Amino acid sequence: MNTVKTVRELRAAVARARSEGKRIGFVPTMGNLHSGHAALVAKAAQRVDFVVASIFVNPLQFGAGEDLDKYPRTLAADQEKLLEAGCHLLFAPSVEEMYPDGMAGQTRVSVPQLSEGLCGASRPGHFEGVATVVSKLFNMVQPDLAVFGQKDYQQLAVIRALVHDLNMPIQIIGEPTVRAADGLALSSRNGYLSEEQRAIAPALYRSLGQIAQAIRNGERDYPRLLAEQQQQLEAAGLRRDYLEIRQAQNLRPATAEDRDLVILVAAYLGATRLIDNLHLDLNTPA
Ligand code: PAF
């Protein structure tokens, strides 16, 4: 696996692979990789002949007071994991390479509606930062397909929308969330948790499961159900950001008649913000 740091080298390597008739897959990441990321790379490797991954901690998607500075940079360990997972080329640019003219005048890509609410409410500008960097990366790599984790459910919806709306010929694949044995969704941010907080964190996924089970059992009073579970989360020590039931396909608020649902949660454990979600399709048996 080769690592390149410039757009020029990236384009040259991808052009070489294309000239050999290879199909290109792409997995953008911010590094500090875990088995969830490895699953994304492995999925791409199943589908195409040449897998490109990127590692770039994108300042444009971090708000003031967020963890941009302390976000872990672990390039050597990440390279090993990528190689093992079947990656052929790593693009690891600097901030200057990605934003040579600075960020203030950078053209932005925004996906209205889908970017509002949920994580968009507590992280203003976040999805514009994501949509902008992903658009840039897509234009640099020009992949046939790209793989993203379903753990960032709203992000995946935003990316599907931008590819559709901007007519990018890229197939977007959502890969199921990888979880620890106790249910906690793998995330680079889990590394911020103390031992005590790590023991509390699985409550998030437990709550999602209990909500899904209650809905499967016929409960349709969503406000009451959510308030009950929110209370349990807070009793466990998780500070509220949001807990919502939405329509799975467009993230609009769910009504009692909707059958394809997603339950989404975000909560703070100390200063660490964790998110998770559970897709619940009532048209399919449990
Ligand atoms: O999900 C992430 O790691 C990031 O938001 C992404 C898609 C790599 C864009 O910076």
- Residue 285 binned pLDDT confidence (cut-offs 50, 70, 90): confident
Nearest protein Cα to ligand 1, atom 2: 29
Does 133 sit in the ligand 1 pocket, CB within 6 Å? yes
Instruction: Please report the pLDDT score of residue 286 as a whole number.
Output: 80
Q: Which domains does the chain carry?
A: 2-175 (3.40.50.620), 188-278 (3.30.1300.10)
Going from the Cα of 195 to the center of ligand 1, the distance in angstroms, rounded, reads: 26
- Residue 109 binned pLDDT confidence (cut-offs 50, 70, 90): very high
Nearest protein Cα to ligand 1, atom 9: 130
Mean of pLDDT values over 270-283: 97
37 among known catalytic residues: yes
Nearest protein Cα to ligand 1, atom 3: 29
% pLDDT > 90, the chain: 99
Mean pLDDT, the chain, integer? 98
Total-model pTM? 0.98
Instruction: Please report the pLDDT score of residue 179 as a whole number.
Output: 98
Mean of pLDDT values over 2-11: 98
pLDDT in tens, 155-177: 999 999 999 999 999 999 999 99
Instruction: Please report the pLDDT score of residue 89 as a whole number.
Output: 99
- CB of 156 closer than 8 Å to CB of 174: yes
Instruction: Please report the pLDDT score of residue 184 as a whole number.
Output: 98
Mean of pLDDT values over 241-252: 98
Residue 212 has pLDDT above 90, yes or no: yes
Atom in ligand 1 nearest the alpha carbon of residue 149: 1
Q: Which of 34, 37, 88, 279 is catalytic?
A: 37
Provide CB contacts within 8 A for 38, sequence distance 6+: 81, 82, 84, 85
Q: Which among 156, 157, 34, 137 is positioned nearest to 89, based on CA atoms?
A: 137
Q: Which among 19, 79, 35, 27 is positioned nearest to 51, based on CA atoms?
A: 27
Measuring CA to CA, how many Å separate 228 from each of 14, 119, 126, 219, 252? 51, 21, 29, 13, 22
Residue 139 has pLDDT above 90, yes or no: yes
Does 132 sit in the ligand 1 pocket, CB within 6 Å? no
Does 135 sit in the ligand 1 pocket, CB within 6 Å? no
